[in-house]
């Protein structure tokens, strides 16, 4: 099983600041098979990226993903109030498909 470890667990930032979220895999994952989701309290997750770096439909360009192999990053260039949420990475490259434990982006 591929284990995804996200860091930090919590990120305390102010609106307008830049957020950098990390996702590290226990073994190499194709960048095509690593995606990111956003989840707000009481809501279903929302797809942010197809693959490590391709934004899903309707996702603003302040969200960008990058990475390869075992190290992946989601960057939010300037935090908007609606971006404070929990973010999960997910890998589809190995069975079972697995999620990271999440990074909470909270208002400082």
The residue ranges that bind other proteins (CB under 8 A) are: 32-33, 35, 37, 39, 43-47, 49-51, 54, 56-57, 88, 90, 92, 95-102
- CA 11 to chain CA centroid, nearest Å: 13
Q: Which is nearer to other proteins, 16 or 61 (CB)?
A: 61
CB neighbours (10 Å) of residue 75?
A: 13
Closest to other proteins by CB, 17 vs 102, is 102
Q: What is the nearest approach in angstroms of other proteins to the Cβ of residue 6? A: 9
Beta carbons of 20 and 73 less than 8 angstroms apart: yes
Q: Which is nearer to other proteins, 15 or 82 (CB)?
A: 82
CB of 16 to other proteins, least distance (A): 28
Shortest Cβ distance from residue 69 to other proteins (Å)? Answer: 17
**Backbone dihedral region of 16: left (phi > 0), alpha (psi from -120 to 50 degrees) or beta?**
left
User: 80: which DSSP letter?
Assistant: -
What is the 8-class DSSP label of residue 56? P
């Amino acid at each position: 099983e591929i284990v995804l470890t996200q860091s930090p667990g919590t990120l305390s930032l102010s609106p307008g600041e830049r957020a950098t979220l990390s996702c590290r895999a226990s073994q190499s994952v194709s960048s095509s098979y690593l995606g990111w989701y956003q989840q707000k309290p009481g809501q279903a997750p929302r797809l942010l990226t197809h693959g490590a770096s391709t934004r899903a439909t309707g996702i603003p360009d302040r969200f960008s993903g990058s990475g390869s192999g075992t190290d992946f990053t989601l960057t939010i260039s300037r935090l908007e109030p609606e971006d404070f949420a929990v973010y999960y990475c997910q890998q589809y490259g190995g069975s079972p498909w697995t999620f990271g434990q999440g990074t909470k982006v909270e208002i400082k």
